[in-house]
């Protein structure tokens, strides 16, 4: 478009907020009607919600008497916050939980950092320290640390622990199952299919319950398996079956030429699979794998069925206290916000990883 003088108008005149609003929200009669309807719904929902959540809410106080009828009673969350984070973990030993949390936070920060030369070595070293270190820190009984039974664990620390170690157990099993389903050996293939189809067909709650009650009957006499470990094994068994199918989808998407190229280079099955096939397959299924990790994090709430109190379990337990009865909404909103923050962070990390891998040459 040119002006009367024959000159092209500056770019700023053809763009900007007003043009964005007009082209995206009021482009035609239908778009205008939808935009106005959405604005009306927001006007109905947002002001009262904001008033309940923030403006009329009570944040300070030591008991329910500090709360009012019109707003949320965040005093409940503030007073019970330590219990929601640590469960019944001894107060004098909570520095161990904080230290374990720092190790997890360091792993998370490392995931979000851009690539650098020693990143892989740092990640492997940190994982090698964190995996046994977190268990030893929380359990105690070594290096002069006071033993703390898992029945005293609870709150967010159990949620994160179950999700982290569930993933650590499930990932290698799922890789073997995915490869097993494509194996040319009938026994391996059939066993992998039976495993996946069985665990996928049974509700997770039933598996956690069965794992908690059947494992003590299976293990040799004199051997005891901790209740938390039983629930963790049950959860990992189910998640590994789902992850195996996701990874198998990635393996099926790899062209046969890649397998032939690996063989032409003289690589054996395991070498070619490890360095050529699996990296490409996992790169394809990253969104689906992250979806499984998010599902794993949310499914940790199911351990309540075997009397393990994760974050949601601790909130439900606190709501049975006569001093705080009726504050369900505040408790569930708090739990929802915590779960959303973690799941959103995983989703953003997945998107960053996809973009980073997309920029790499094949």
Burial class (CB in 10 A: 0-12, 13-18, 19+), 23: exposed
- What pLDDT sits at residue 42? 94
* Tens digit of each residue's pLDDT (9 = 90 or more) over 131-146: 888 999 898 888 888 8
Burial class (CB in 10 A: 0-12, 13-18, 19+), 139: middle
> Cα torsion for 174, 158, 302, 337, to the nearest 10°?
-100
Residue 145 near residue 239, CB atoms below 8 Å: no
* Tens digit of each residue's pLDDT (9 = 90 or more) over 163-187: 999 999 999 999 999 999 988 889 9
- What pLDDT sits at residue 158? 92
CA distances from 115 to 112, 119, 328, 358 (A): 9, 6, 44, 14
Q: How far apart are CA 336 and CA 72, in angstroms?
A: 15
- Is pLDDT larger for residue 81 or for residue 350? 81
**Least confident range of 73-82, 250-259, 348-357:** 348-357
- What pLDDT sits at residue 3? 52
In this prediction, residue 7 has a pLDDT band, given cuts at 50, 70 and 90, of low
The number of beta carbons lying within 10 Å of the beta carbon of residue 239 is 25
* Tens digit of each residue's pLDDT (9 = 90 or more) over 214-236: 777 777 777 777 888 888 988 89
Burial class (CB in 10 A: 0-12, 13-18, 19+), 154: buried
pTM: 0.83
- What pLDDT sits at residue 1? 47
Contacts for 33 with CB less than 8 Å, ≥ 6 apart: none
What dotted CATH number matches 73-89+152-359? 1.10.3720.10
Where do the domains of the chain lie?
A: 25-55, 73-89+152-359, 90-147
**Least confident range of 77-81, 116-120, 192-196, 240-244:** 116-120
Question: What mean pLDDT is reported for the chain?
Answer: 86
Mean pLDDT calculated for residue range 260-266: 85
DSSP 8-state code for residue 277? I
Mean pLDDT calculated for residue range 328-351: 90
Alpha helices in 113-185 (DSSP H): 119-139, 156-181
């Amino acid at each position: 478009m040119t002006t009367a003088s024959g000159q092209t108008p500056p770019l700023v005149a053809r763009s900007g907020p007003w043009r964005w609003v007009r082209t995206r929200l009021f482009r035609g009669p239908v778009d205008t009607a939808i935009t106005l309807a959405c604005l009306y719904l927001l006007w109905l929902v947002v002001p009262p919600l904001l008033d309940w959540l923030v403006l009329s809410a009570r944040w300070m106080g030591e008991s329910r008497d500090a709360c009012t009828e019109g707003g949320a009673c965040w005093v409940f969350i503030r007073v019970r916050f330590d219990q929601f984070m640590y469960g019944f973990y001894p107060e004098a030993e909570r520095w161990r939980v904080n230290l374990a949390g720092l190790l997890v936070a360091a792993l998370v920060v490392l995931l979000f950092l851009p690539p650098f030369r020693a990143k892989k070595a740092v990640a492997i070293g940190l994982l090698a320290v964190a995996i046994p270190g977190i268990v030893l820190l929380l359990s105690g009984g070594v290096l002069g640390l006071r033993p703390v039974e898992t029945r005293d664990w609870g709150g967010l620390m159990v949620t994160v622990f179950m999700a982290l170690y569930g993933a650590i157990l499930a990932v290698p099993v799922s890789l073997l199952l995915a490869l097993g389903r494509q194996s040319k050996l009938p026994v391996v293939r059939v066993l992998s299919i039976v495993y996946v189809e069985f665990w996928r067909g049974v509700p997770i709650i039933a598996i956690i319950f069965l794992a908690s009650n059947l494992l003590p009957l299976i293990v040799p006499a004199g051997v005891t398996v901790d209740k938390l470990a039983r629930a963790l094994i049950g959860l990992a068994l189910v998640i590994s079956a789902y992850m195996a199918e996701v990874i198998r989808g990635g393996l099926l998407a790899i062209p046969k030429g890649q397998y032939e190229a690996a063989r032409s280079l003289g690589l054996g099955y395991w070498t070619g699979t490890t360095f050529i096939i699996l990296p490409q397959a996992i790169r394809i299924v990253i969104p689906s794998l992250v979806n499984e990790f998010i599902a794993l994090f949310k499914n940790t709430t199911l351990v309540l069925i075997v009397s393990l109190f994760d974050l949601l379990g601790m909130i439900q337990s606190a709501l049975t206290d006569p001093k705080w009865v009726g504050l369900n909404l505040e408790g569930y909103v708090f739990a929802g916000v915590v779960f959303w923050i973690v799941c959103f962070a995983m989703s953003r990390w997945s998107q960053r990883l996809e973009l980073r891998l997309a920029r790499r040459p094949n």
